[in-house]
Amino acid sequence: MPTRRFTLVVLPLLAACGCSPAEPSPCQGFADRKLGITGAEYRPCAEKIMTALDSLQPPLQAIVSDKAKGNERDDARQAFGTLRRLVRQTGVESDYRSMKPGTEITKWADSDVSAFNFAAFTAMVQYMAVLAYPNRDNMSQGVRAHDQARHYYARIR
């Protein structure tokens, strides 16, 4: 009966708001992996992460330059939420913060993938700081890490 109640209550609400159930993400499943993720299998996820970073940078630039309109702040928050969800699905956030010895070597053995993850994670953290307290220093560090992520993304095969 709870399933029927869910269907009768939630699905009409989703339809009314124009929302749809989330589609599967190419980043799902990497958090549970323990060994050698190749660049070829990771590339679709890295592409989504780059897209999220790319959509986050312009509204953040506007916020830092005090030219942001209300919708740009909302766009930045939404893009950051997407980015954070993708990064969490990969397990990168846990991997780099845990300091578990060897995680990066065994799980992220491809050096370009590892470098991409580090740069994307760093950009995410710096952009999060800009959302919390808009400033040029965090923005420039985020842009630098974002550019590094773009460089390593191009090298992932």
Reading the chain (157 residues) residue by residue, the pLDDT tens digits are 444 444 444 444 444 434 444 567 889 888 888 788 889 999 999 999 999 999 999 999 999 998 877 788 888 999 999 999 999 999 887 766 555 555 555 677 788 998 999 999 999 999 999 999 999 999 999 999 999 999 999 999 7
Yes or no: say if 102 and 117 are a contact pair by the CB < 8 Å rule: no
In one-letter notation, the amino acid at residue 50 is M
Would the pTM count as exceeding 0.85?
Answer: no
CA distances from 120 to 12, 45, 116, 117, 155 (A): 37, 12, 6, 5, 14
- Residue 10 pLDDT: 42
Q: Rounded to 5 degrees, what are φ and ψ at 26?
A: -70, -5
- Residue 33 pLDDT: 81
Domain map (residue ranges) of the chain = 25-155
- Residue 15 pLDDT: 41
125 closest CA partner among 153, 97, 154, 156: 97
Look at the domain 25-155 and name its fold.
Answer: Four Helix Bundle (Hemerythrin (Met), subunit A) (1.20.120)
- Residue 96 pLDDT: 62
Token reading at 129: 């700081």
* Burial annotation 16-53 (CB, 10 A radius, 16+ → b, else e): eeeeeeeeebbbeebbeeeeebebeebbebbebbbebb
